[in-house]
Amino acid sequence: MLRKNYVFLKACLLALSLTVVAVNAAESDSNVKWAFGRIKSLEGDWKKEGSDREKFYINFSQMAGGAVLIENWIYDGQSRSLTI
């Protein structure tokens, strides 16, 4: 009888642990989606205040249905740095 109770207790603790892990993973996924959504809101051309946009600007654009964000630094009409 004691052995059955011990096995049952271990099974309950395992189930509780898995539930906690699943909840934490869901919260983490939610935080990642929120942060990526904030970064995607930067989409468009950005320039330093008071500077000439033709000389230097940074462009943020989305690809792959919004799953990828591209950061492109443009100087004198040419791409100088690209981050995906």
Per domain, the residue ranges of the chain are: 1-41, 43-84
Against a cut of 0.75, is the pTM above it?
no
> Closest Cα partner for 58 from 82, 24, 29?
82
Q: Where are the beta strands (DSSP E) in the chain?
A: 44-46, 56-63, 68-75, 78-83
CA atoms of 4 and 41, how far apart (whole Å) = 56
Q: Which of 1-15, 27-41, 64-78 has the least mean pLDDT?
A: 1-15
Q: Average pLDDT, whole number, for the chain? A: 73
Q: Write the pLDDT tens digit of every residue in 54-77.
A: 688 888 898 888 888 888 888 888
Classify strands 56-63 and 44-46 as parallel, antiparallel or unpaired: antiparallel
Torsion angle (degrees, nearest 10) of CA 43, 47, 49, 53: -130
